[in-house]
Structures are given as structure tokens and as C-alpha cells.
Amino acid sequence: MSLPAVNPVDTTAAALRATIDGKAKPLGALGRVEDLAVQLGLIAGGPPPAFDRALLLVFAGDHGLTAEGVSPYPSSVTQAMVATFLAGKASANAFATAVGAELRVVDAGVDAELPPHPALRDEKIRRGTRNAAVEPALTADEVAEALSRGARVAREAVAEGFQVLALGEMGIGNTASAALLMHRLTGAPLIDCVGRGAGHDDAGLARKLATLERAAARTDAIEPAEVLAQFGGLEIVMMAGAVLGAASARVPVLIDGFIVTAAALAAIRLEPAVQDYCVFCHQSAEQGHRRMLEALEASPLLRLDLRLGEGTGALLALPMVRAASRLLSDVASLDDVLNGRL
């Protein structure tokens, strides 16, 4: 499998940290915003852009696991929600408008033929994955193709002029897939990875866990590409490719909640250098998300008890990213203030 080359950032942050420490403020007074500014500066190799052009890519796909009742909603909701995004009426649309970001949908594997739309990109690999409870969800070739297409989508967005990419997803059953990926890629017990997803009651949660235990018992796969083939969703695999593509183009990628973090985890296991480019935007209410972030040694910017997905948490963090970039470019140094050089 050929993955895009990713250069690690120059982790020598002393000069950037000294620049921030010399701004007209007490040392460390802006807390983790200063750390974010350093990360953005390291990615840019100097003062970062203002990130005026931001794009949310919502990857959509269906899951064969839904046949086992792992979600309280049918797969048809995926198609209905894609139509809602394209009509501009989803939560992600409202948030994107609020923070000045563009939204596009990528059909990675919706189990329907979607009509053309200016904001829809058709990258469908197949109409949904196979049922991972009884067989591998994807073939090795399908995983390779989904990674390649995701990387291409991201790189083409950067070539178009977008300075920061946010990732979101839509796919009924995808918390089940993400839980299995987390289990195998972090080694966490499956019971710690499985949550209520879109709203299971206790009986539904027990059914979901039993189904995922059956899926996990089928295979002992731990190598990232094989784990993606066994348990991945097409939207998740394509998002992993988008993380790789964004990192190869040296732009920050805003990581949303549990499912997008699972995609980022897979990308990092495939190419560890991509973690330098990931901004982990929030810790969701889904049970396994905190532990997955801990496995990545990632500290999220926000904790708002979100559990919607769609990229909503990434969009809410975008103003913080823009503010952090301006700390480096727009704030006077203390020396200039004290010597009247404003």
C-alpha cells in the first residue's frame, strides 16, 4: 500500500515559545492557547496563516453491522442526513455558517445512489461495508483505495486554497466500527470502548456489546491496515486517508469526536508523523473517547459533552485555532510596548 509521504514537524519549539513568551502579556497567561499557537507555528514552519479559508469535509458511509442492531436507527438515516447536509439544514451547516467555514459531503460508501449536488463529492467505494460480525468489513484493496481517495480529497482541498481542514462523519452504526478499531489499535478492553452511540437504552447497549464481541472474536488482527479491513467503515478509512493527505500537505487537520478520532488513530498507527498535524478539538460524551485520547496522549481543546458527530466539535474549535494563529502575528511584543514602538 502506497501512502503519502508525511514530514514530521520541526519539534524544536524554543524560538516559537520565546516569541510567545515575549508578547505583551504575563508568561503563560493564555494557557493552552499558547500551546496551540506553537503547534500551528511548527506546522507552518513560521508564522501561521489566519486560517480564513476553512473547509469541513463530512464523510458518509453505511455499515453492514447495522443488520445486527448495533444502532437504534436504520441505515436509511445516513442517506436522509446526507440530504439534510446538502439542503443546508443540519447542525453542522449551522455551525459552519456561524464560524465561517465551507461544508462539503464526501460519499465514501452510502448504501444508496445519491443524486449529483455541487456540495457532494462522489468517492463511493461500495454501497456500505460487509457485516463485520460475520466477515471482514472490507477487502485489503478497498482499504487501500479508500485511503488513497481520502488523501486525494484532502490534498486537492489544500490545492484549492483551504488553509485548514476539519473532519466530520455521518454513518449509522459507525460508533460500533470505531469501538472495534479502538479496541484493536489501543489494546483497551472492548467493554471500555463501547458506548451508547446515537442513543441506545441498556438493552440496546448490551446487544451492541455482544455483537462487537462476536466481531472481535473472528480475528486477532492488530496491524492497522488489517484492522481497518476487518472492522472499518468506508467513511472512517477515507477520513484516515484525509488525515494523511492533510499532513502530507502540511496543513492542520481538526479532529472531531469519537469516530473521527478513531480514523486519526488509524492514520497515526499507519504513519506516526501525522499526529503533529492533528488538532484534537473536543472530548465527546461517548464512553471510549476519553480513553482513546489518552492512548494518543492528546489533550482536547473543549469538553462540551457533545455526541453528535458531523464535525460539530471541530467547527466549534475553529475560532480558537484562528485566535491562536493571530497570537503569533498580531500581538505586540512586550519590548515594543515598553519602548513605545507600536
State the burial class of residue 114 (Cβ atoms within 10 Å of its Cβ: 0-12, 13-18, 19+). Answer: middle
Residues 70 and 173 sit within 8 Å (Cβ to Cβ) = yes
- Banded pLDDT at 2 (limits 50, 70, 90): confident
Which pLDDT does position 202 carry in this prediction?
Answer: 79
> DSSP readout, 181-203?
HHHHHH---HHHH---TTT--HH
What is the reported pTM?
0.96
**What cell does 191 get?**
467493554
Rounded to an integer, the average pLDDT of 109-124 is 98
| Domains of the chain by start residue, with CATH | 14-48+327-338 (no CATH), 54-320 (3.40.50.10210)
Helix (H, G, I), strand (E, B) or coil at 13: coil
Q: What is the pLDDT of residues 157-209, one digit of tens each?
A: 999 999 999 999 999 999 999 999 999 999 999 999 998 766 677 787 888 99
> DSSP readout, 283-297?
--SSTTHHHHHHHTT
Q: What is the pLDDT of residues 207-222, one digit of tens each?
A: 899 999 999 999 999 9
Which pLDDT does position 313 carry in this prediction?
Answer: 98
Which pLDDT does position 198 carry in this prediction?
Answer: 67
- Banded pLDDT at 317 (limits 50, 70, 90): very high
Q: Tell me the residue ranges of DSSP E strands in the chain.
A: 54-61, 102-109, 120-122, 164-170, 253-255, 278-280
| Cα–Cα distance list, 12 to 48, 49, 139, 170, 289 (Å) | 16, 20, 41, 38, 30
Write down the catalytic residue from 34, 169, 235, 310. 310
Which pLDDT does position 50 carry in this prediction?
Answer: 94
Q: What is the pLDDT of residues 266-304, one digit of tens each?
A: 999 999 999 999 999 999 999 899 999 999 999 999 999
Which pLDDT does position 46 carry in this prediction?
Answer: 84
- Banded pLDDT at 1 (limits 50, 70, 90): confident
Tell whether the model's pLDDT for residue 336 goes beyond 90: no
d(CA 270, CA 219): 19
Q: How many CB atoms lie within 10 A of CB 223?
A: 12
Q: What is the pLDDT of residues 77-108, one digit of tens each?
A: 999 999 999 999 999 999 999 999 999 999 99
| CA 7 to chain centroid | 20
Determine the straight-line distance between the first and last CA of the chain, rounded to whole angstroms.
54
Q: What is the pLDDT of residues 25-77, one digit of tens each?
A: 999 999 999 999 999 999 998 889 999 999 999 999 999 999 999 988 899 99
- Banded pLDDT at 123 (limits 50, 70, 90): very high
Amino acid (one-letter) located at 268:
I
Active site residue 310: yes
